[in-house]
Structure 1
Amino acid sequence: MPQLLITGANRGIGLALTELYLASGWDVVACCRDPSQADDLLYLISDNPGLEVYQLDVTDYDGLAALAQELDDRPIDLLINNAGYYGPNAVLLGDIPMEEWRKVLEINTIAPLKVTEAFLPQLRGTKGTVACISSKMGSIEENHSGGSYLYRSSKAALNAVNKSLALDLSPDAIKAVVIHPGWVRTDMGGPHGLIDTATSAQGIKTLLDRLTPQDSGKFFDYQGRQLAW
């Protein structure tokens, strides 16, 4: 069975992706900060023997290294860096909360690279794929409204990280892409999102199923359209 490792799997897009890949016959290593509070994820275990749930705070790099060592014999065909953090709303120029900005950058930019580093041996063994959930808000060209300094900067930086990953991992035939999942009705996206999590997840999976080596290093939305940097 092909193997997926996904972060932030306890709710929203991460949970929808977990459900979709399980239904498609994949084995899934689903990671979240507090499995004891992840009722919807744990509920899936009884009907899905290919699902394993692990505790992982993506900014706990010692814990990340320990998990990678525990799974060192596990081939990983697809790594989805899904865990993310928007930060406080209504942040105004002139009053940027520095600790929150550092937290947003830590979770959205640094952690996906560290997770990828930790599981590189397993990805090299399968010539796998790294997919990082980004946002159109990380597109500099598409920024027509300003604001959202914390989140925009973290996703723009993640996009830059992915471009370097794609180049550096090409000798290992590992593909790396960033994906805008759409404006989704989740805790982060809010109740006015244009699509639900199942629609986003299906689009993301369809994109990843069709991914070619020539697509590595690019920025796509969940409908498979390439986005501007």
Structure 2
Amino acid sequence: MATKNVLIIGANRGIGLNLAKAFVSLSWEVTASIRPQTRDDPSVAELKDTGATVVEIDYLDDGTIEKAAEAYGDKPLDILINVGCKLHPQLATFRLIRTSQVSPHILCRGMNSLLSSWLRDFESWLWQGPFLTMKHFLPKLEKASQPKIVNISSIFGSISGKYFIVLSS
């Protein structure tokens, strides 16, 4: 039986890291991505310890996705899992704020440029990055007998989540 191959985007912590560990334990060949900005993070060492092949992909840089697809080679890709996303550091504090504690006017005042910049990046993380990853890895998926693409989002990707309620109130 041929070895099965999985690519996990966003694998140096959380769901992605645990998926990498699970697939390695099932004897799959795991390719796992990290963002170039996190290459020195201790979580990357934990990912490497799983035996996964680590590649760098930044959803905001199409070149990194194309380079990773070239480095992957000609082998079939059975499963592509898009987990990668991140929260803008200055917006991370919004989770601690309840709408009943502060007026939306005060909450958003002075945040326009930050929100505009972050929303532009968030759009890339949410759909553009996964789309480009699928585009560049499609030839590898087509070589598999039953290829699958799995897109995993967080509560932050939900338009009914508290973040968007707070930000749009």
TM-score tier after normalising by the smaller chain length: 0.7 to 0.9
Q: Match of 1:130, as an amino acid?
A: I
Give the aligned length.
Answer: 146
Query: What TM-score, normalized to structure 1?
Result: 0.56
Residue equivalent to 1:65: 66
The answer to whether the Cα contact below 8 Å between 2:6 and 2:81 also exists between their aligned partners in 1 is yes
1:36 Cα deviation after fit = 3.5
Higher relative contact order (CA 8 A, sep 6+): 2
Report the RMSD for the aligned CA atoms in angstroms.
2.6
Residue 37, structure 1, aligned to residue 56, structure 2: no
Q: Give unmatched runs, 5+ long, in structure 2.
A: 98-103
Supply the distance in 1 between the matched residues of 2:47 and 2:157 (Cα, whole angstroms): 33
1:43 Cα deviation after fit = 4.1
Q: Give unmatched runs, 5+ long, in structure 1.
A: 151-229
Residues 118-137 of structure 1 aligned to structure 2 (within 5 Å):
118-126=136-144, 127-136=146-155
Partner of 1:4, secondary structure, is strand
Residue 114, structure 1, aligned to residue 117, structure 2: no
Q: Match of 2:78, as an amino acid?
A: D
Q: Match of 1:11, as an amino acid?
A: R
Structure 1 residues 121, 149: CA separation in 2 closer, same or farther (over 3 Å shift)? farther
Supply the distance in 2 between the matched residues of 1:148 and 1:41 (Cα, whole angstroms): 33
Greater shift in the superposed pair: 128-137 or 60-69: 128-137
1:135 Cα deviation after fit = 3.4
Residue equivalent to 1:85: 86
1:100 Cα deviation after fit = 0.9
Structure 1 residues 27, 134: CA separation in 2 closer, same or farther (over 3 Å shift)? same
Residue 105, structure 1, aligned to residue 148, structure 2: no
1:149 Cα deviation after fit = 4.7
The answer to whether the Cα contact below 8 Å between 1:32 and 1:54 also exists between their aligned partners in 2 is yes
The structure where helix makes up a greater share of residues is 2
Instruction: Give me the identity figure in percent.
Output: 26
Q: Match of 2:19, as an amino acid?
A: L
1:59 Cα deviation after fit = 1.8
